Amino acid sequence: MVCSLLFPEADVVRIQKEDFSVDEEIKKVMTVSKSIGGVATFLGTARDFSKGRDIETISFEHYGGMAEKKLAELREKILSEHDILALSIIHRVGDVVPGENIVLIVAASKHRAAAFDACRACIDELKKTVPIWKKEITPEGDYWVEEHP
Amino acid sequence: MGKVNVRFFANLKDLAGTDSLDFEIKDNMTVKEFVSKLLNELPALKAMMEQRRVFISINQEMAQNDDIIKDGDEIGLLPPFSGG
């Protein structure tokens, strides 16, 4: 278990409107243990195209309360299934424009392989289990996205 | 008899024309019976509910078809997720 005093649960799993700093989030993860030898990150960002359409904005909606709970459960699952020392997950909601950050996963481990694997597993599972939805705002209209590419 | 609060999200919210409503339920009503009654009263949701994998939650936990809904529960209708 990671040190909860240095790295409170509320801070490592967040859903927020505002942008985040990748550097700051990595620094927080690094405070967990001096045994960390590798940190892998996944940063999801907003594209300016989708299925041949230009994207003006992506609007994210979440089920408040349940989405945070599912993210926390996901973090516990990934921590228990991978040999990692720390994991943080941050997802933005509200309007995001192309080029901006959407989601950040930071996984830290003693050796690199576990951090890479945990990061990949975490984003794949997040897309399937956390009640967050995105709507693409385009010049041709607005479209809710349903698939998990 | 009882009453639950139904929460709609994403395209189901657009189809329902609201993000939530109060809905009367019978005693010992299952999720399956609830969905059937809801679709009778909100037929605009029918195509989406039948063609897509829509999850139902009870008090923010995933529910199964034979789970019982109780007075005061919060029921979520959750279209396929698309976060990340």
- Of A87, A96, A104, give the one whose Cα is nearest residue A20: A104
pLDDT in tens, A1-51: 444 445 555 579 999 999 999 999 999 999 999 999 999 999 999 999 998
Q: CA nearest B59 in A: which residue?
A: A66
The domain spans of chain B are 2-78
Residue where the block lists tokens 């997802």:
A91
The domain defined by B2-78 folds into Ubiquitin-like (UB roll) (3.10.20)
Q: CA nearest A149 in B: which residue?
A: B82
ipTM over 0.85: yes
Cβ contacts (< 8 Å) between B51 and chain A: which residues?
none
- Of A56, A16, A51, give the one whose Cα is nearest residue A145: A51
CA-angle at A18, arms to B57 and A69, nearest 5°: 25
Cβ contacts (< 8 Å) between B73 and chain A: which residues?
none
pLDDT in tens, A47-70: 999 988 999 999 999 999 999 999
CB atoms within 10 A of CB A50: 16
Residues of B with CB under 8 A from a CB of A: 7, 9-11, 14, 52, 57, 60, 76, 78-84
CA-angle at B84, arms to A34 and A57, nearest 5°: 125
Domains defined for chain A, CATH in brackets: 9-144 (3.90.1170.40)
Cβ contacts (< 8 Å) between B74 and chain A: which residues?
none
Look at B9 and A145 and tell me if their CB atoms are within 8 Å.
Answer: no
Cβ contacts (< 8 Å) between A145 and chain B: which residues?
82
Look at B76 and A131 and tell me if their CB atoms are within 8 Å.
Answer: yes
Which amino acid type is present at position A48?
A: D
Q: How many cross-chain Cβ pairs, A to B, lie less than 8 Å apart? A: 68
pLDDT in tens, B61-81: 999 999 999 999 999 999 999
Q: CA nearest A93 in B: which residue?
A: B83
Tell me if B30 sits within 8 A of B65, measured CB to CB: yes
Instruction: Tell me how close the Cα of A102 comes to any Cα of chain B, in angstroms.
Output: 7
